Structure 1
Amino acid sequence: MKLKITHETSYSYDTPVEALVQSLRLTPSVHEGQRVCEWHITVSSGQRGVAFRDGAGDWIEGWSVRGPVDTVTVSINGMIETRDTAGVLRGHRETVNPIVYLRDTPATKADEALIRLARSVKGDDALDLSHKLMAAVAEAITYTPGVTEASTSAAEALELGQGVCQDHAHALIACARECGLPARYVSGYLHTSVEGKPHDAAHAWAEIHVGSLGWVGFDAANACCPDERYVRLGSGYDAQDAAPVRGMAFGISVESLDVRVHVEEVQQEQ
């Protein structure tokens, strides 16, 4: 599948800020399931700084903006070819030992309810257990936009019984770690939902390390493994750690955010 992606994030300030620094994890991962045809990142009035690939295999770019400035826009325009690898992350080079992803964070720490949910699931092996954990989380948390916030933890989402893809990913990570399986949060894009509805938004899912297969993606929000509709950007312990854009503004001001994402399938030439 060939996908055209446009992603625009605008930061507005009620009072101009003196400067802005950002760390961007917005370049698609290098692995067998996707190939970048073209990819352009721009930051309005920004200057690109140091760029590097971290131990998890993610490409990080530093950007800075000199003020005074009241609006900063981060824009992505790209084309990428994807193929279905049944969720298996093949050909992705990284140096971090998977066992580090057994570490809890405030967003993924399992409370008694999450522990009960994890322990209620039995599997024939790590892969089977991971699929069943995904199904259990999908059943326990109904996809409902607008009821949770960026700061909502996995435990809070499970108590509500509602949430979005971030909450599903956090809950699945918590359950997998409780079962002794390394798990991490993945940020990216999704072309359509499993029902075929357009999904013009950034997306998130979990990856679980299942022995000889290595990292395998599990999207509890859609109860499936990532296929050719998914574009992987980067990973981390949780949503905050894997955030595509992280930064700091210098000055006293109130920030507002506007995000627009469009993922479109492009017909490939015969």
Structure 2
Amino acid sequence: MNLIIIEPYFFVMENSLGIKSNFSQNGYGFQTLRINTAKTFEKIDFTATFKIKKLPSNPFEKTPVFDLQDNYDLIHSLDFKVDFEPFLRKTKFTTLPESSGNLYVFDPALSIFENLQKLNRWVYYFIHFTTGVTHVHTVLQEIIETPNGVCQDFTHLFCALARANNIPSHYVSRYLHQGHGYFGDSQMHAWAEAYVPQVGWMGFDPTNLLLVKEDHIKVAHGKDYHDCSPLKGIVYSHGSNDTKHSVEVLAQQ
């Protein structure tokens, strides 16, 4: 079973105005932070420090012998579709254009896990990783017509095709610490989680053709980018505002 254990053991969140932070939980079970102030300010800085422990995980370890017929019957059942409806739903960013037809169809002779691995590989080779050609509002029709993009585009396409084949999928915002040579290794990254019967949620990184392991650090998941964008700061104030961020991920032995 592909369980990746994250154990947070140190967390500090500070802001330059010294205002108390209020935490709440969103609809997906993740903590959100809010501050309120009557003070006038021109700039505010947030500094967050986290230390976590991740236990090693092998996605292929203890993989069961899949019962293909039962698994395919399950994903087509009404109860399954009701239970996983939010992550089977089409969204603005995970809707395939009608012109794409059956862009990727699962092979019923293979297990769902095997099909998802093949989908991961297919998306990796279909899109050419190219920065600066897409943006946060890019939809899949643009990607399919001109297959160039970044991690969010890879992930949206993976999620859309998994859902088109009746597999629930999460869009995940996380950090990737793999040293050098991987896309997204020094900034917020995105990849997918798909639900595999008999196993549970498993992570797939189509941008780098990886299965998610201990070097992938999850922050949040949702239906698409809009639910868990890397930076979702909301400032209610007069005038315009501009937000910048940076991140550093360090590994300790």
TM over 0.5: yes
- Superposition RMSD in Å: 2.5
Q: Detail structure 1 runs of 4+ shifted over 6 Å in the superposition.
A: none
Q: Distance in 1 between matches of 2:59 and 2:241?
A: 37
Please state whether the residue corresponding to 1:262 is helix, strand or coil.
Answer: coil
Deviation at residue 233 of structure 1 after TM alignment: 0.9
AA matched with 2:43: T
Residue 227 (structure 1) aligns with: 213
- Quote how far apart the aligned CAs of 1:80 are: 1.5
Alpha-carbon distance between aligned partners in 1 of 2:94 and 2:183, rounded to the nearest angstrom: 29
Partner amino acid, structure 1, of 2:24? A
Give the conservation status (yes or no) of the 8 Å contact 1:114–1:175.
Answer: no
Q: Could you say which structure has the higher strand fraction?
A: 1
Measure the CA separation in 1 of the matches of 2:160 and 2:103: 10
Gaps of 5+ in 2: 61-81
Match of 1:27 in 2: none
Aligned to 2:7: 35
Within 2, Cα distance between the matches of 1:79 and 1:259? 19
| Residue in structure 1 matched with residue 107 of structure 2 by the alignment | 122
Describe the shift of the 1:211–1:262 C-alpha distance in structure 2 as closer, same or farther (beyond 3 A).
Answer: same
The corresponding residue for 1:81 is 53
| CA–CA separation in structure 2 for the residues paired with 1:255 and 1:188 | 25
The 3 A distance-change label for structure 1 pair 159 and 196 is: closer
TM-score, normalized by length of structure 1?
0.75
Q: Note if contact 1:98-1:209 (Cα within 8 Å) is conserved in structure 2.
A: no
Contact (CA 8 Å) 1:83, 1:227: kept in 2 or not?
no
Q: 2:172 pairs with 186, 210, 223, which one?
A: 186
Residue 87 of structure 2 contacts residue 168 of structure 2 at CA under 8 Å; is this kept in 1?
yes
Return 148-157 or 215-224, whichever deviates more. Answer: 148-157
Distance 1:193 1:141 in 2: 23
Structure 1 counterpart of 2:107, one-letter code? K
Shift in alpha-carbon separation, 1:165–1:113, aligned structure 2, 3 A: farther
Per the alignment, residue 20 of structure 1 pairs with none
What is the deviation of 1:113? 5.4
Q: Which has the higher contact order (CA 8 A, sep 6+)?
A: 1
More divergent stretch after superposition (227-236 vs 107-116):
107-116
Partners of 1:146 and 1:65 lie apart in 2 by 36
Structure 1 residue 156 corresponds to structure 2 residue 142 = yes
1:110 matched residue in structure 2: 96
Q: Distance in 2 between matches of 1:70 and 1:64?
A: 15
* Contact 1:187 1:243 survives alignment (8 Å): yes
Alignment of 1:259-270 (within 5 A): 259-266=245-252, 268=253
Select between 164-173 and 244-253 the one with higher mean Cα deviation.
Answer: 244-253
2:22 aligned with 1:49: yes
Number of equivalences: 228
User: Does the CA contact (< 8 Å) of 2:121 and 2:206 recur in 1?
Assistant: yes
Relative to the length of structure 2, the TM-score reads 0.80
Aligned-pair CA distance for 1:187: 0.8
Q: Runs of 5+ in structure 1 lacking a partner?
A: 1-30, 89-95
Structure 1 CA distance for aligned equivalents of residues 176 and 233 of structure 2: 24
Deviation at 1:146, TM superposition (A): 1.4
8 Å CA contact 2:170, 2:192 repeated in 1: yes
